[in-house]
Structure 1
Amino acid sequence: DDEPPEITYCVVEHTGTLTLQAMTPTLPMPAEEELNKMFLELVDELDLTQANRQAVLALPVNKKWQIYCSRKGNGTLDNGGLRTTDLSGDPEDYINRLKTIASSPFPEEDEEVSNQMRQAEALKTALRTQPHSFVLRFIELDGLNALLEVLETMNAEAANSNLHTSVIGCLKALMNNSNGRAHVLAHPTAINTISQSLATENIKTKISVLEILGAVCLVPGGHRKVLEAMLHFQQYHSERTRFQCIINNLDKNFGIYKDNLSLKTAIMSFINAVLNYGPGQVTLEFRLHLRYELLMLGIQPIIEKLRRYENETLDRHLDFFEMVRNEDEKELARKFEKEHVDTKSASAMFDLLRRKLSHTAAYPHLLSLLEHCLLLPLDYGSHPQHWLLFDRIVQQIVLQSESNETGLIRNPDVAPIEINVKEIVHLLAKEEELVAARKKAEELERENSDMSTRLAKKEQELDLRTQEKVR
């Protein structure tokens, strides 16, 4: 059957998919040519993916007319005084209400709180269902900054309320539009501000934020923004390491089974996105680098605890995490011609390095590194800065690569210490060449001196022989 599937409801949602509810038109259908022209204008407003656009344009004329009437009919849904299906709705009204929410203290009256939530929900619905031109106008009027301002000005009570969830929902709806998504990603602080919402105690808000961050990992240029956002959140929330909040929430019991399950599933989905998209799609070293960070925070025993939920969806995310981990560890072991590398054992890892480097020019440098480590003060308490410095430098040596397009050195992770590894290695190589040249010159000088000595000796012998002959 080549006929496109039945359409149930007219709404643009998530990845640009379109479903429509068949309505009985109350107006006479125009001529086919006129209808096709009207329908094409409607489709242009919907920001559909190319596949869905083609499918909708291929519908029979009677269904096109049903869809057209469903979109252009007079909407009457009223949320907080804003009509969410009226195509003539002005984005400026929504933005003004957002500014009022941002500039006002969080209300004490439940009715006023509900009113603010209705206004945010109305905007969320409008961003999802209104024409593409509505979203463009919302962007032009600086609607994104109005949403971010609401997030920035929330006090603790507002941050833990459902209003917070609704505002994050508005940002999700905006990012479901291609222009909206591009606008958010181009904003210098939007993803960082969104990440701050992980500090809330509201489970639904946490889940929505994780869904946004996980989706951004899949967008070109988005993965690095997510890593920057996690580093920003570490500083914002005064945490020891990035991902600490993520792992803590993965382990924490929030009391309600459904909330626990939903949040932990969202976290594992986010973790898998961070590990396996962006540079993680192609680079073993990058996946190992990020996974080591999560393992140091204790994710493995938590995963074993999560198996007790016996939930199919959660188990799929756990299985994927462990499957990719096992494959990566096997690939690492093959580099050392081993079946397995015990990365939990310092002595096992050192023994591998020692065997690999023992008969190479690198081995003296390994010994020198260890000898100098012994000279460091060992009592650091809770602030082992020197060891952290070593760790960060080695991480950059492992991760930095040259961009094929620009020739610039780039680090796929956020680098707290900016160093150019290639340039330093090049300078060291020049230094080695200089040392080698000096050594060669010294050898040549010694050979020349030996030759001069031998020549002088020969001249003396010749003089003696000549004198003997003359006598």
Structure 2
Amino acid sequence: MEYIEDWVERALSCFTRERDKQTQPGSANSNEHDPDFIFKIDDEKLKEQFERLVILHPENVHKYIEFLKNLSSVYPKEIDSNHLTQLRELVIALRTQSHSFLDSFLAEDGLSLLLCLLSSSYRTSFALTDPFVLFFLYAFRALLNSPNGRAAVLADGNALVNICRAIDSNDSKCKIAAVEILSGLCFVPEEGHQHVLKAVTEASPLIGERTRFQHLAQDLHAMSVNLKLLPKHSNSFSSPTERETDRVRTAILGLFNALLRTGPAETCIIFRSHLRFELLMLGVAVANEHIREGNVSPQLEDHLDLFDMMRKEDEITLQGLTPADSGSSSPIHFETAVGMAEALNTRLQNSMAMPHFVSLLQHLFIVPCDERHVPLWRLFDLIVQHLTLQTTVNGMTDVHRPIVNEIDMNEILARLQTHLEYEEVKKSLDAAEEELEKERTRVVELENRLADALDGRGSDSGRSSISSDRSSSPAISTVSASILPPVCPPIAPAPPPPPAIATLGRKPENKEAVRKVPQPKGPLKTLNWTKIPMDKVKGTVWDGIEDEKLYKQLDLSEIEQVFAASSSHSDEAESVLGTISRRNKETSVTVIDPRRFQNCTIMLSKLKMSHREIYHALISMDEKGKIPKDMIEQMLKFLPTTEEIALINDAVMKNGGSPACLALADRYLFEVAHIPRFEQRLRCLHLIRTFRDRVDALIPHIQAVTKASSAVSSNKRLRQYLALVLAIGNYLNYGKRNGNAYGFDVQSLNRLVDVKQSQKSDRNLLHYVIQLIEKKWPDLTKLKRDLASVFDAARFNRAEVLTEMRSLEQAIQIVRNELEKKEIPQEASLTDESRREKEKDRLSTVAKHFVSTATVDYGNLEKLMAEMNTKYCECTRQLCVDATSPPEELFVPLSKFLTSFSEYHQQLWVENEAEEQVKRQTIARTYFAKKNRRRDKERDFEQLISALQSGDIFKEELCRLRTSFRVPKKA
């Protein structure tokens, strides 16, 4: 193996092979403190050292424990070369002895001694202690080969923190050893990832970092041979070579990739994005670009590719797209404030969260940005991180000291949701109560009027004359209809029919007995119940009820005070004729159909313009755009008829000749009837106001067909895909009626899903074609991106477009005809007042301008249509489709095929991702599986680190990503 930390394994497993490096005479003693000295001794001396350290000496844990205790007492002031030699022997023993030796070492508190020594080294000069720190780290790494050793290291909270502190070491070997230990521990199931993140976070302030990962990101920026950014001591031992610089970068990127592909980050894109955003803020992406400009090893290049492609894949997923759609949409710049603000604005545009986002930006804008308020911005950042992770990652947070008191997001969200629901329910309740009160008032008024009308029929002998006049003058029912709302709510059962003609004018013979009810002192409110006749009470619950005795127990004065009728209520004793005459004075007159009256009133309430404003707007052809376009269309539904005009004029004449007596809808029809050629004017106004919108609505459909026709005709990927399907189809149809084909129609692309696979019934020919494309022609997966315009073209309808174009041409002709009629000279017959009114009339001016501009717009539309037909004919010729067929017959099947292609590709991508995740988990578990041979057990953690640094553990993941993404290569 090529890495320096594997020198022990080389000494143990390869001591019989010849070394590539030749030992120089006299160099053994001079390099005694060099960790690489074992590579410089000859085979005979190596065998002698091996027998002395391993074979001749039995396992003696107490000796090493005593050595560590002795070293703790003299370290770091009174150390010599003998101490370093004995420490080297301890590392070899931990790497080679049995598990019982490691268990005894742990039982004798060896881990605590090593941890104490490592912690003490950080309080001294690194120039003196670097060799010892390196072997301390090697000792910890050797312990991690054992399951019990890993458990003990992870259980001790300070162990990983002290290992993380070695990241700040001047010695590149110490840095590499520490980073590789952390990388390997990320793959430990259950809690490895969590312990590593926690240790890195806690060690950050101890090594002087502003934020965690800061020193690692700075090391990536080092482009020269000297890797260390801040030279603390300039000695030959701490100066890294070019190879070591490459190894440091490989180890650091290996740690970043391990953090992003293990633990919660492996399955949760939110948590993974949180970690990546933290690294991007430290400039890791820029550092990667600088590293690519130099000479990098294949292992480092693999880690760079993996980091960049995982980032691109996650960013596409966050946008709600698939890798196949990535090229057809603009990417989000996650590293710039402008890019993120634009993306959030687009994402929240039609969301209820948009006002809160705007409010958040507004309040952030007023926060000062000077140095004094930087901690406040930091607090905002930490709070948002804390709340985001706790909300989206099942309560798991990874923010260093975000808030003193932990926030329960579930409780906060529950309270917010309850508050919002309360506000909505309260609004609904208030509206319902208001509507209920209105309905009650309407019901009371209606019943009172019906009762008054019926009482009047039975008491007034002259009622027949009133009924005979209904055909000529507004009757009671007509007046009531003008007062009451057009649509009445459900009311109590209808009153009994009027008495027969023989009994009309006489009191009924069977008179009910008068109840002994006290007479109130004043008018009270009415309880609108439905009475049960006396002859139906017998034998019911009401028979025998002594309600009259209860009046002695009731406080009648309180009832009179609480339910006193207001002065606005009419006295029930008032005569019917007096009531009717009073209501007639307060009521407007309406003569049009009640339903038409109702709909017209609703239209005018939405228009919110007075009759005079409507008149002037129509005379001026609404040049200021006061009347909305949709309301013009509604006004066309309420054109006054000849009969309605006659009735309205009669009603005005009978009421003194003033239109003020008319109801709202009748007054509107009266006013617009005096506008010259009102119907034609309104229709012209509607055509003028909607013409531009109708043209603009047609242009995108026509351009979509033009664009799609060009894309389909010239797309090379589509031709390659058609060739592939033709080859496979001819092979399947060999010797059959459909075999030996030279081509196929577009509809046949959608029949690939009908060919089921023999081995998997849920798979079809399209699945197989996509898998084949992924393996051999990955560039064809961009087919949907190239033909994105086909989806818009599939919504094109030739018949509707041609009908709309004919309608537009007719609209121009209608306005032109009206303009010609308007320009007929009539000056001789006009009075001065009529001449002034004509000068205010803008119909001619507006119509002339419309005809000139609309003719040009329609000509441009015809040109676009001609260009579309040309492109479409070329496309149909390429695909052997009938040129006379409408475009939808070509593009609908194509869009359906592209949709199926994208869905199946996404399905296979998800399945492959799940398989890759299972494989990664299996590989990680394999390195820690119990085996029968002791040597395999000892090498598990070493193999994991080796696979991580070489990139083998991400090999299949990297191959999958490279089929979908491309990374920039140096020129």
Report the TM range for the smaller structure's normalisation: 0.7 to 0.9
Are the equivalent residues in 2 in contact too, given 1:184–1:191 (CA < 8 A)?
yes
Q: 2:280 aligns with which of 287, 290, 295?
A: 295
Q: Match of 2:180, as an amino acid?
A: E
Q: Is 2:59 the counterpart of 1:89?
A: yes
Contact persistence 1:116–1:163 (CA under 8 A): no
1:272 to 257, 260, 265: 257
Number of the residue aligned with 1:367: 358
Question: CA contact under 8 A between 2:115 and 2:159: conserved in structure 1?
Answer: yes
Match of 1:450 in 2: 438
99-108 or 170-179: which moved more?
A: 99-108
CA distance in 2, matches of 1:157, 1:373: 45
Partners of 1:390 and 1:335 in 2: CA distance: 30
Q: Distance in 2 between matches of 1:343 and 1:332?
A: 11
Of 377, 387, 391, the match for 2:377: 387
Paired residue type of 1:198: I
In 2, Cα distance between equivalents of 1:470 and 1:312: 106
Deviation at 1:369, TM superposition (A): 1.3
Q: 1:83 to 1:459 in 2, by over 3 A?
A: same
Aligned-pair CA distance for 1:143: 1.0
Matched, 1:202 2:171: yes
Q: Distance in 1 between matches of 2:193 and 2:257?
A: 12
Q: Per the alignment, do residues 268 and 84 of structure 1 end up closer, same or farther by CA in structure 2, a change over 3 Å counting?
A: same
* 2:300 aligned with 1:314: yes
Aligned runs of 1:46-85 on 2, under 5 Å?
77=49, 83-85=53-55
Give the Cα separation in 2 of the matches to 1:294 and 1:331: 19
**What is the identity, as a one-letter code, of the residue corresponding to 2:207?**
H
SS of residue paired to 1:89: coil
Q: Which structure's residues are more often strand, by fraction?
A: 1
Where in structure 2 are the equivalents of 1:205-284 lying within 5 Å? 205-220=174-189, 221-252=191-222, 253-254=226-227, 256-284=241-269
> What is the alpha-carbon root mean square deviation over aligned residues?
3.2
1:191, 1:226 within 8 Å by CA — same for their partners in 2?
yes
Alpha-carbon contact 1:217-1:274 (below 8 Å) kept = yes
* Matched residue type, 1:299: V
Deviation at 1:149, TM superposition (A): 0.2
Does the 8 Å contact 2:141/2:181 carry over to 1? yes
Structure 1 CA distance, aligned partners of 2:316 and 2:199?
Answer: 31
- The one-letter code sitting in structure 1 at the alignment partner of 2:70 is T
Deviation at 1:115, TM superposition (A): 1.4
Query: Per-residue CA shift, 1:61-117, capped at 9, x if unaligned?
Result: xxxxxxxxxxxxxx98589xx954467433222122212222224246xxx432121
Cα distance change on mapping 1:441 and 1:205 into 2, 3 Å: same
CA distance in 1, matches of 2:372, 2:290: 28
Alignment partner of 2:318 out of 304, 322, 332? 332
Indicate the SS of the match to 1:340: coil
Deviations 1:253-305 (A, max 9, x none): 33531221221221111121112211221122222221121111111222122
Bigger mean CA deviation after superposition, 412-421 or 300-309: 412-421
CA distance, structure 2, for counterparts of residue 402 and residue 19 of structure 1: 49
After TM superposition, give the deviation of residue 360 of structure 1 in Å. Answer: 2.2
What residue is the counterpart of 2:930 in the other structure?
none
Q: Give the C-alpha shift of residue 19 in structure 1.
A: 6.3
Question: Given the alignment of the two structures, is residue 411 of structure 1 paired with residue 397 of structure 2, yes or no?
Answer: yes
Alignment match, 1:193? 162
| Aligned pair partner of 2:426 in 424, 438, 443 | 438
Cα distance in structure 2, aligned partners of 1:419 and 1:85 = 59
Equivalent residues of 1:84, 1:126 under 8 A apart: yes
Letter matched to residue 103 of structure 2: L
Q: Distance in 1 between matches of 2:390 and 2:359?
A: 24
- C-alpha displacement at 1:169, in angstroms? 0.5
Alpha-carbon distance in 2 for matches of 1:454, 1:354: 48
Q: How does 1:12-161 map to 2 (within 5 A)?
A: 77=49, 83-85=53-55, 88-107=58-77, 112-154=79-121, 155-157=124-126, 160-161=129-130
Distance (Å, rounded) in 2 between the aligned partners of 1:400 and 1:90: 50
* Aligned 1:161-172 pairs, distance under 5 A: 161-172=130-141
Letter in 1 for 2:281: M
1:470, distance to aligned residue in structure 2 (A): 10
Q: Which amino acid aligns with 1:175?
A: L
For 1:458 and 1:372, the matched residues in 2 are separated by: 55
Q: How far, CA to CA, are the matches of 2:414 and 2:299 in structure 1?
A: 49
One-letter identity of the residue aligned with 2:420:
E
Q: Which residue type is aligned with residue 320 of structure 2? A: R
> Do the aligned residues in 2 keep the contact of 1:158 with 1:164 (CA within 8 Å)?
no
**C-alpha contact (below 8 Å) 1:160/1:202 kept by paired residues:** no
Q: From the superposition, tell whether residues 267 and 217 of structure 1 become closer, same or farther in structure 2 (CA, over 3 Å).
A: same
SS in 1 for 2:100: helix
Aligned length: 396
Does the CA contact (< 8 Å) of 1:265 and 1:317 recur in 2? yes
**CA offset at residue 456 of structure 1?**
6.3
Among 324, 328, 335, the residue aligned to 1:344: 335
* Alpha-carbon contact 2:8-2:92 (below 8 Å) kept: no
TM-score, structure 1 normalization: 0.75
Amino acid across the alignment from 2:88 = E
Q: Name the CA distance, whole Å, in 2 between partners of 1:158 and 1:348.
A: 46
Bigger relative contact order, structure 1 or 2 (CA pairs below 8 A, ≥6 apart): 2
Moved more, 433-442 or 415-424: 415-424
TM-score under structure 2 normalisation?
0.38
Unmatched runs of 5 consecutive residues or more in structure 1: 1-10, 23-74
Deviates more, 1:358-367 or 1:169-178: 358-367
Gaps of 5+ in 2: 1-6, 17-46, 228-238, 453-569, 579-971
**Cα offset, 1:310, TM superposition:** 3.0
Which residue is 1:68 aligned to?
Answer: none
Mapped partners of 1:102, 1:194: distance in 2 = 18
Pairwise CA distance, 1:443: 2.2
> Which has the larger displacement, 84-93 or 389-398?
84-93
Q: Deviations over 1:142-201 (max 9, x none)?
A: 111110000111222476421110111000000111111111111122111211122221
1:219 CA drift (Å): 0.8
Quote the offset at 1:325 in angstroms: 1.7
Greater CA drift, 89-98 or 443-452: 443-452
Does structure 1 retain, via aligned residues, the 8 Å contact 2:75–2:117? Answer: no
Equivalent-residue separation in structure 1 for 2:64 and 2:151 (angstroms): 21
- Structure 1, residues 436-466: CA drift from partner, whole Å, max 9, x if none? 2222332233234434554665687666565
Identical positions, percent = 33
1:422 is matched with 410
Per-residue deviation, residues 372-399 of structure 1 (Å, max 9, x unmatched): 22232x2331762232222223323433
Query: Match for 1:423: what amino acid?
Result: E
Change (3 A) 1:331 1:382: farther
